[in-house]
Structure formats: structure tokens, C-alpha cells
Amino acid sequence: MPPISTIMHFGKIFIESYDKVDIPNFIIGIILPGTLNDDQLEELHNVDEDGNIDVREFYEKFDFNTMSLKESSVVLGYYCHLWLDEYYKFNASKLKIHNKKNLKGEELNSAVKNLLNYYDKKAVGSFYEQYAEDIKFVDSKMFTAIDIDSSKKKLLEYLNETVPEEVITGLIKEEQYMSFIREGCGKIIKSL
């Protein structure tokens, strides 16, 4: 599963590329799956024996023509999160790591995580801050078994996160990572 910074980076690119969303509701939707435990995810989705969610089946459960923009935006955000999870799971290994410092194990994992967070925060900037107040008032009933307040809390934590001070920018080339995110976003938009 990608870190929240990557999810928010992906969400920003999606919002900028797809004009049929209510942004505060979309943001809540894209955060929602990250607030659920495994039991809740399995209850809401068909999960195969490998733990994969049938993302397209989830999307096709909804009739977007009968939904308000706010409702469809929550669902679309949720779908984007699930879709990115699967894309990331099967494609992140294609990102070439240039480990010139010969980092090992947890040290390498931490360095990569910090670098991606750095790239994501750099790409997102203050984009979401303009919606912070509006997000507080989102009250979606699209997923009745889910606590929307958990998503709001997680989003506010994300907005208050600081960028890592130490990053090894040579581990993954920035343009390669940005291309990876843009390519994923392009694929989901084509699928709609």
C-alpha cells in the first residue's frame, strides 16, 4: 500500500485532470480506505485468496448517473485509492533504486519512504490546504458503516506533517517517480 503522501499526490493529479469532482468530498473518499482495518475492507469488498480487491467490481456497483456530485466524488475518491493500491502493488518495483550508499534492510526502506514523501510533498505543495475548512463539513452517507471523522482526522494529520529533513535524492530519480504517478493517473482516467 502506498504511503498517504503518494495517495494525496495521485489525488492532486487526478483532480487536475478530471473536472467532474467535488474536491472536499473526493479528498475524504481518497483517504477513506486508509482508515479501515482488514476486516472492514473484506466486508466492503470482494477479496481474493491473495488479498487483492476487485477494484473494477467496486466501481461498477455504483450508478453515477443517479448520484449527486458530492456522492459520486466520495465514491470516485475511494475508487482512486483502491485503484492506486493495486497499481502500486504491481508496479512500484519498476522504480529503479540507485543504492550507491549500500543501505540495507530497514535503513533502505526508511530512506526510500522519506524520499517518496519528499517528492510527494514537493509536488503537492499547499494544494490541499485551501480545502481544509470545507473538509471539516463533509458529511457523506455513502458508506454508512464507515466513520468519516477518521478520514478527516487522518487528512489533518497529513496536512500537518513536515517534509523529512534528510533525504537521499539519488535513490530514485525524481522524474522517474513523477512519471510513475502521472502514468498511473492517466490509466485510471482512461478506465473511466
Give me the DSSP letters along the chain: ---HHHHHHHHHHHHHH--S--HHHHHHHHHGGGG--HHHHHHHS-B-TTS-B-HHHHHHT--GGGS-HHHHHHHHHHHHHHHHHHHHHHHGGGSPP--TT---HHHHHHHHHHHHHHHHHHHHTTGGGGGHHHHHT----SSTTS-HHHHHHHHHHHHHPPPPS---TTSS-HHHHHHHHHHHHHHHHHH-
Are 69 and 140 spatial neighbours (Cβ–Cβ below 8 Å)? no
Domain ranges of the chain: 4-95+126-163+174-191
Q: What's the pTM value of the predicted model, to 2 decimals?
A: 0.90
Average pLDDT over residues 68-92: 93
Q: What is the spatial distance between Cα 75 and Cα 54, in angstroms, rounded to a whole number?
A: 15
Q: What is the pLDDT of residue 79?
A: 94
pLDDT digits (tens, 9 = 90+) for 96-151: 999 999 999 999 999 999 999 999 999 999 999 999 888 888 887 766 657 788 88
Would the pLDDT of 170 be above 80?
A: yes
**What local confidence, expressed as pLDDT, does residue 116 receive?**
95
> What percentage of the chain has pLDDT greater than the value 90?
60
| C-alpha cell recorded at residue 134 | 470545507
- Band (pLDDT 50/70/90 cuts) for residue 42 is low
